Structure 1
Amino acid sequence: MKSLLVLFLSLGLLSACSTTRPFTMDQLNTSITAKSQASRARFLILHYTALDQARSLHVLTEQAVSSHYLVGDDQPNTVYRLVDESRMALHAGVSSWKTHAQLNASSIGIEIVNLGYVETPTGRQYQAFPQQQIDTVITLIKDIVARHGIKPENILGHGEIAPQRKPDPGPLFPWKQLADAGLIEWPNADAVAAQLLIFQQALPDAVWFQTKLAEIGYATPKTGIWDQESKNVLIAFQCRYRQHTFDGIPDAESAALLEVITSKKKLP
């Protein structure tokens, strides 16, 4: 009798197991959302393609590099979404900003169709960005920033996060227009002029410049020697904030800009 009871119980358990369905995705419960979360995207990185529109599309879709968006130079400017924002695009490469590195995983990339520069006997000649194209870029940035909460100090150029490798979007990209649109911060002109008078009397040493650049976020050598690597970092800074001269020379105007920008970051 006892053996029969065990047999019946075993059969009952097997029967119960056989009627239990495995989990399927249509059973996923999405009715509760965690408060503690944030967007994957912390940075927005701007590039120029250094190619025409057709070749830009080919490279960004068929080769080992990509971006989330491509802003064309046609009229009106076509904006291509090439990679969904939920996925990682391969646009930043070896990169860093402040304590963050390898920014592909935490950024959204915007490529802008622009031929970049040509080498001439008098130096590099950069191609200007048409105003209509810049207006399109600003509209796109506003939309991305609003959805992801990207901070103004994290809207950057490729040359800023990789100053030893990349120059884009170059010295003709109108960063001041992004500031006027409320997307990034900009140093106060009067404050810069006041600091300029001070630094014209005594210029800081290489350590000071390297420290200030690193404080903003640039990956900067801290050797105390104004080497080529330090020069490249200052060029990236000047291409954003002092576009009339971007030679990497640590002069009084660059020092004034650095002092005002870093002092502002110290304010509550």
Structure 2
Amino acid sequence: MNQTAQVGKALLALMLLTGCSSLPLVEVPSENQNSRVNHLVIHFTSEAFDPSLKALTQTSDRPVSAHYLIPRLDDASYPYATLKIFKLVSETDRAWHAGESQWFRETALNDRSIGIELVNRSGCASDATPSKQLKLLAALCRFEDYPSDQIAVLIQLIQGIIERHPEISPVNVVGHADIAPDRKVDPGPQFPWQTLHQAGIGAWYFERDKAFYLDWITSNPLGIARAQSALALVGYPIDVTGEQDHQSQRATRAFQMHYRPDNFTGLIDAETVAITLALLNRYKPMLLETLQIPTHDFKTP
């Protein structure tokens, strides 16, 4: 090979290497975009810190993960003197935390959510029963309180997440039970949803709206089917069957643990309906028309 050919090959190789290492990209950010993240899901681990961290970070037969893990100081397996937030998965990546789930008829929630696990050893036995009414969780579960310092750290974390992902609306801050009521109960009735709302996180209803709808349904009863439709409009995965069957009880129970945690039988009653309508009135008042239900003065607390 002559010298000219050798030089030509060398130049070609250099051009290829240069092209691979430095593409001539021009970055022009489009205004037509948003975050892929528009849901936030809160869980409890059902285990102490050490086994929770291992389960969420190591390979297993049933691999799971979350974006964040928040421990508690009264856990003997937690090795630090102060609370630290453990980041396990980047917010830009997909964690495996939601599983089979649905919210506002949206599925594949792992693709669009951030998952936070709280170390909390609550847990339940199966509620399966041949009878029409499910076994009460109060008899099947052990629900632990959440320490105030753990919740304070959680609030601080979520406030930052919502700032980075403003597509997360109040109604899309949910618990695992809300999006998978047929198989999950976390974060349970001890979780302080109203405290989070007071910190600007998540949805809650106005008491005056609840009182208005309690009075309204006294003379305008909805019936089970319309009540189920209202729960579906709030986001819950519930089939409108007109019967308080098991799937209805599980979805209603998840709603009650979130918005009425002192009474979560799973049976639709007047107060459950009133809270559901008060939430719709505050966050999605236009949907009340589909149920032929009047709106209240939702602009005033």
Verify same fold: TM over 0.5.
yes
Superposition deviation, residue 200 in structure 1: 4.3
Structure in which a larger fraction of residues adopt strand = 1
Distance 1:45 1:140 in 2: 13
Which 5+ residue runs of structure 1 have no aligned equivalent?
1-12
Q: Which residue does the alignment assign to 2:250?
A: 232
Alignment of 1:49-198 (within 5 A): 49-62=45-58, 63=60, 64-74=63-73, 76-117=82-123, 122-149=139-166, 150-198=168-216
Superposition deviation, residue 20 in structure 1: 3.6
Superposition deviation, residue 15 in structure 1: 9.3
Distance 1:230 1:164 in 2: 9
Code of the residue aligned with 2:191 in structure 1: it is F
**Residues 19-69 of structure 1, C-alpha deviation per residue, up to 9 Å, x if partnerless?**
642532433635422222211211111000000001100110113000000
Superposition deviation, residue 249 in structure 1: 1.1
RMSD: 2.5
- Work out whether residues 145 and 191 of structure 2, in 8 Å CA contact, stay in contact via their aligned partners in 1: yes
- Work out whether residues 65 and 88 of structure 2, in 8 Å CA contact, stay in contact via their aligned partners in 1: yes
TM-score, length-scaled by structure 2: 0.79
Superposition deviation, residue 243 in structure 1: 0.7
- Work out whether residues 228 and 242 of structure 2, in 8 Å CA contact, stay in contact via their aligned partners in 1: yes
Q: Which moved more, 1:176-185 or 1:226-235?
A: 176-185
1:99/1:118 CA distance change after superposition, 3 Å: closer
Distance 1:26 1:18 in 2: 14
> Within the alignment, does 1:223 sit opposite 2:235 as a pair?
no
Please say which structure displays the higher CA radius of gyration: 1
Q: Which residue does the alignment assign to 1:36?
A: 32
Superposition deviation, residue 17 in structure 1: 5.6
Distance 2:31 2:254 in 1: 38
Code of the residue aligned with 1:21 in structure 2: it is L
Which residue, out of 277, 286, 289, partners 1:259?
A: 277
Superposition deviation, residue 16 in structure 1: 8.1
- Work out whether residues 105 and 237 of structure 2, in 8 Å CA contact, stay in contact via their aligned partners in 1: no
Distance 1:242 1:121 in 2: 14
1:122/1:100 CA distance change after superposition, 3 Å: closer
Tell me the SS of whatever aligns to 2:43. strand
**Residues 64-92 of structure 1, C-alpha deviation per residue, up to 9 Å, x if partnerless?**
00000000112532210011111110000
TM-score, length-scaled by structure 1: 0.88
Q: Which moved more, 1:44-53 or 1:21-30?
A: 21-30
Q: Which residue does the alignment assign to 1:27?
A: 23
Q: Which residue does the alignment assign to 2:264?
A: 246
Q: Which moved more, 1:30-39 or 1:126-135?
A: 30-39
Distance 1:15 1:259 in 2: 74
Distance 1:30 1:175 in 2: 45
Aligned pair count reads 259
Distance 1:78 1:101 in 2: 32
Which 5+ residue runs of structure 2 have no aligned equivalent?
1-7, 74-80, 126-136, 287-298
Tell me the SS of whatever aligns to 1:100. coil
- Work out whether residues 203 and 251 of structure 1, in 8 Å CA contact, stay in contact via their aligned partners in 2: no
Distance 1:32 1:68 in 2: 30
Superposition deviation, residue 260 in structure 1: 1.1
- Work out whether residues 46 and 158 of structure 1, in 8 Å CA contact, stay in contact via their aligned partners in 2: yes
